[in-house]
Amino acid sequence: MSMWGGGIFACAVLIFACVYRFSSPDVVLSEPILFTTYREYPFTLSDQENASLQALEALQEKYALLSEEGVPESEINMYREDLSLRQREEEEWGVLDRYSWNEDVYELRRESYGELSATKTMYTVTKNNETLFTTEMYWGSEGPIFSWKIINKKPAFLFSVPVIHTSGEASVPEIWYDGAFVSQAFSLLRPQYIFSYNDRIGFIAEMPNGKEGVYYDGAFLAPEFDDIWNVNCCAAHELLPTVYNNGILLLYAERAEEKYLVEISLITL
């Protein structure tokens, strides 16, 4: 597997930043770092709403993006059965969510409930009435599981696990995939997003130094960021990590309070 050299990236960040202004007066783009397998486009935006989408439009006016040579690969999401509020109330200890894909039916069931930190709310995910896993989950705005999708013909469930942390953090992200918790199977901290390209699995996760990065095909790819926007960080109106059929991963990230749109080629790895 070929990797980008840390020295090359370190030299690249020393490039003098020139500023461009485009048709949108709110978007200011700085000089990008351009390699054949990696591109980093820094930008600032006075209006922070939909920042990444506005920046993407401005970039497309100025540069020929690597991602423009392909089309986004469609994510396969399970079909969700609409359980009524009455059904949920009547089955307080039963089925809370039901999804299906092909002939398989997946259900989320609440096993126990606890309101205090000393007690736990446990949930079980089943496939065709057979248990896949049972764990404690944090109930967010989308319920305990906020993403049910299929990766390489296998189900992936994204959720958060409650924690008591000195920083005040209430939960940490976790993914269950291919019969195991990703944090354990891949020895990853805070796996937040799962994707695949050419049958190889990748994640957005925390690196050993506490930064966030892209983990793909068994290794972290340089560089690192303070934050990478994804489905697990209230980024409903922003650009989420997107894999294109030409092997480009496009994402929205932040480092040292500067925002970036980033393109990473997965096809050369």
Average pLDDT over the chain, rounded to whole?
81
Percent of the chain with pLDDT strictly greater than 70: 77
Encode pLDDT of 177-214 as tens digits.
Answer: 999 999 999 999 999 999 999 999 999 999 999 999 99
Residue 144 host element (H or E): none
At 65, which amino acid appears? L
Q: Residue 47: what are its φ and ψ, rounded to 5°?
A: -100, 115
CB distance 269 to 3 below 8 Å: yes
Q: Which residues contact 22 (CB under 8 A, 6 or more apart)?
A: 29, 58, 61, 62
On the question of pLDDT at 18 being above 70, the answer is no
CA dihedral 77, 53, 197, 185 (to 10 degrees): -70
CB distance 44 to 52 below 8 Å: no
CA angle (78 as vertex; 130, 186 as ends), nearest 5: 70
Residue 56 host element (H or E): helix 51-62
Encode pLDDT of 103-135 as tens digits.
Answer: 999 999 988 765 544 456 889 999 999 999 999
What are all long-range contacts of 120-124, with beta carbons under 8 Å and residues at least 24 apart? 120/162, 121/162, 123/96
Encode pLDDT of 63-94 as tens digits.
Answer: 999 999 999 988 888 888 776 544 554 455 57
Report the phi/psi class of residue 54: left, alpha or beta, with left for phi > 0 and alpha for psi in -120 to 50: alpha
Is residue 6 helix, strand or coil? helix
- pTM, entire model: 0.82
